[in-house]
Amino acid sequence: MTRRRFIAGATCPQCGAIDKIVRVEDGEHIHMECIACGMIRNLDEAPPRDQPTDAPAIPQVITIHPLKK
């Protein structure tokens, strides 16, 4: 049995349409679909992770000012 549920407020990562994402449970498999552009993403798999770069992180310098009374 297939269950389809709209995800309120979700934005399609491919076309950017809002409120067009459907979560589909089809037996043992789960995926999401965009009804605007037809994008399908398998939710059974782990999400892709950003590839680490060999470049060192750039430190940020911040200044904290005392409160004036």
Q: From CA 16, how far away is CA 26, in angstroms rounded?
A: 25
Residue 7 lies in a domain: yes
**Whole-prediction pTM:** 0.59
Residue 66 lies in a domain: no
> What is the number of structural domains in the chain?
1
Residue 55 lies in a domain: no
What pLDDT score does 4 carry?
93
Residues of the chain with pLDDT under 50: none
For the chain, what is the total number of helices (H) and then of strands (E)?
0, 4
Cβ distance 12 to 26 under 8 Å? no
Residue 17 lies in a domain: yes
What pLDDT score does 51 carry?
63
Select from 5, 41, 9 the least CA-distant residue to 23. 5
Residue 32 lies in a domain: yes
What pLDDT score does 53 carry?
61
What pLDDT score does 27 carry?
84
Which domain, by its residues, includes 31?
2-42
